[in-house]
Amino acid sequence: MAKTIDLFQVADEELEARSRFTCRIKTCASTACLSAGAGPVRTALEQAVAAAHAGHDIEVVPTGCMGLCSKGPLVRAEPRGASPTLFEQVTAEGGRAIAETFTGQRSEPDVTVLDESIPFFTQQRRVVLKSAGKINPDRLEDYVAEGGYRAVLTALTEMTPQEVIEVIRDSGLRGRGGAGYPTATKLGLLADAQGETKYVVANGDEGDPGAYMDRTIMEDDPHRVLEGIILAAYATGASQAYIYVRAEYPSAIERLERAIRDARRHGLLGRNILDNSFRLDVAVRIGAGAFVCGEETALMASIEGKRGTPSIRPPYPTERGLWGAPTMINNVETLANLPEIIAGGADAFASVGTGSSKGTKVFALAGKLQHTGLIEVPMGITLRTIVYDIGGGIPNGRSFKAAQTGGPSGGCIPAAHLDTPVDYESLRALGSMMGSGGLIVMDDTVSMPEVAKFFMEFCMDESCGKCVPCRAGTVQLHELLGKICDGKATRADLQLLESLSWTVRDTSLCGLGQTAPNPVFSTLHYFRNEYLDLVAGGR
């Protein structure tokens, strides 16, 4: 039987326990740093602390992503009563040196320090990633110490479900999966739907090339995702939730499953959550990594154990979803915003952002930049700030050519629009989209038809094959783009590329096909000359 957690007592105990250490050394255990060798770093830190018999004074804490992935593995030493130091590109050797510095065995480690006052850190605003990189994602107590699950407590004890939806409506939160649908409207649809059982699904089937926002959120702060799910379920009357995660995210799956077990053990899931009459079960469902399963109808088919292909809407999931029951699907990042909205209030949340795009957005910053990694920025920030301040500009003396947002569904934004604020409407007006948060910066060496071809190849490979325009159209678009890139295309081929793009966009069954031509449209719009040059060079 679950013993209900006393959130305040656990938080106090946890903070008290932390204060007993003279230094806490945090070592990034997120996928990017692990692949750069963070595993041996952590072992070296722990061994050095153990060898010095300093386990009572120094705590080594494996955390999630600290952000600047291109400088990983990252280690952050937080000595009590002194300012913290962030170390970059730490090796096992370096890890030992860092530990020995704080055990007093040496004066300072020979490891490069990363200045945390650079714009990469200062220009960010962390809401969803508030605790990421700071806490041990495998410990419920760590999350509780940061104020975790207080929003659930508040909601269950002081608010009606309708009030929860109203607060979210006032916050202006919109879906972070790409389309930007108002979250409160979606919640309202499920709340109003009639059904014995209702389902909430967290969509963690992130698949855009270069994007890892959702993976990071799930890996680094799984309880925040769970808390968001509990709030969404309470607001809508759902009693079962699923987190749909792709199989390529093994540590996200492991950490979520542990988080679910711990939450259940502490009375945060199951019957009578926090001793209230509300019940909710959460289970992880693992996808096989098909991009199309991020589309909600295909995702539901996959959860039901069927072939992951989309189906025609209507009916919409909130009318007839999983096993015919009303179902709401939200992106992981959207849900991870809910605890802060309920705990901190709608006004505080809405004070960040622009008129129609409130709050923050997490981006996976990649490409030709000095600094790449995971960032969370206030909506309305300009692309220029992201590229030149946070990203530190273009390396190797090259110049900025375009920023690609929205992944294979998005578009390329040229230098002329660098001062555009990053919000749903502005990006759409430029022929791109917010998307789930992939942001790839390209320098002047990049050929835009090649970029379009790259994304088309992705869509072609990921097409489920159900509808003709996507299945066969992406193949032909890819072939036409290849012909153009090879300088073998004629003007007629270019015309055909455009008219086929329109057909694929207008006639495909689901979002994958409907948006697959977007990179073609946007590169044609801003860089038509590159196409014409290649065509003119052909026969």
Partner 1 sequence: MANRRARPNGLNVTIDGVEMSAVEGESVLDVARRAGAAIPTLCYLDGLSVHGGCRVCLVEVDGEHAPRLACSTPVTDEMEVRTATEAITEHRRIVVELLFAEGNHICAVCVSNGSCELQDLASEVGMDHVRFPYQYPDRAADASHPKYVFDPQRCILCTRCVRACAEIEGAHVWDVAARGADSYLVTELNLPWGEAPSCTWCGKCVTVCPTGALAFKGRAIGEMEHDTDLVGFLARARTEGEWEGRS
The only residue of 463, 515, 518, 522 in contact with partner 1, by rule CB under 8 A: 463
Could you tell me the two tokens for 163? Answer: 């009030």
Q: Which is nearer to partner 1, 341 or 484 (CB)?
A: 484
Cβ 298 to partner 1, closest distance in Å? 11
Greatest Cα pair distance in the chain: 77
312 binds partner 1 (CB under 8 A): yes
Q: Which helix (H) or strand (E) holds 366?
A: strand 360-367
Q: From the list 290, 300, 303, 439, which residue makes contact with partner 1 (rule: CB under 8 A)? A: 290
Asked whether the beta carbons of 235 and 165 are under 8 A apart, the reply is yes
The DSSP letter of residue 147 is T
As measured in angstroms, the least distance from the Cβ of 505 to partner 1 is 8
Closest CB to partner 1 among residues 391, 473? 473
Q: Which is nearer to partner 1, 96 or 483 (CB)?
A: 483
Q: Rounded to an integer, what is the distance from CA 298 to the centroid of its chain?
A: 20
- Whose Cβ is closer to partner 1: residue 132's or residue 464's? 464
Q: Which two tokens stand for residue 199?
A: 């389902």
* Size, binding site for partner 1 by CB under 8 A: 32
Closer Cβ to partner 1, 189 or 468, answer by number = 468
506 interacts with partner 1 by CB under 8 A: yes
> Of 339, 261, 329, 269, nearest to 295 (Cα)?
329
Q: Kindly tell me which residue out of 91, 251, 276, 507 binds partner 1, with binding defined by CB under 8 A.
A: 507
Our finding on whether 340 is near partner 1 (CB under 8 A) is: no
Cβ closer to partner 1: 144 or 299?
299
Residue 275 contacts partner 1 per CB under 8 A: no
460 binds partner 1 (CB under 8 A): yes
Site for partner 1 in 473-502 (CB under 8 A): 473-476, 479, 496, 499-500
Give yes or no for residue 462 binding partner 1 (CB under 8 A): yes
By beta-carbon proximity to partner 1, the closer residue of 368 and 505 is 505
> Secondary structure of 5-27 in the HEC alphabet?
CCHHHHHHHHHHHHHCCCEEEEE
Compute φ and ψ for 240, nearest 5 degrees. Answer: -140, 135
Q: Are 232 and 187 in contact (CB under 8 A)?
A: yes
Q: Which is nearer to partner 1, 279 or 306 (CB)?
A: 306
What are the residues facing 245 on neighbouring strands? 204, 286
Identity of residue 229: I
Give which of 371, 284, 355 is closest to 363, Cα–Cα: 371
Give the one residue of 84, 104, 395, 465 binding partner 1; rule: CB under 8 A: 465
Question: Can you list the alpha helix ranges (DSSP code H) found in 198-354?
Answer: 213-220, 222-236, 250-265, 296-303, 332-344, 346-350
Binding pattern for the stretch 513-532 against partner 1, x by CB under 8 A and - elsewhere: -x------------------
Least separation in angstroms between residue 517's CB and partner 1 is 13
Please, are residues 217 and 176 in contact by the beta-carbon 8 Å criterion?
Answer: no
| Region of residue 397 (phi > 0: left; psi between -120 and 50: alpha; otherwise: beta) | left
Evaluate whether 235 touches 168 at the Cβ level (below 8 Å).
Answer: yes
> By CB under 8 A, which span of 200-208, 221-229, 306-314, 427-435 interacts with partner 1?
306-314
**Are the C-beta atoms of 54 and 5 separated by less than 8 Å?**
no
Stretch that binds partner 1, among 18-26, 80-88, 328-336, 469-477 (CB under 8 A): 469-477
Least distance CB 218 / partner 1 (angstroms): 25
Which parts of 200-219 interact with partner 1 (CB under 8 A)?
none
DSSP state of 133: T
> Where do contacts with partner 1 occur on this chain (CB under 8 A)?
290, 292, 307, 311-312, 460-469, 471-476, 479, 496, 499-500, 503, 505-509, 514
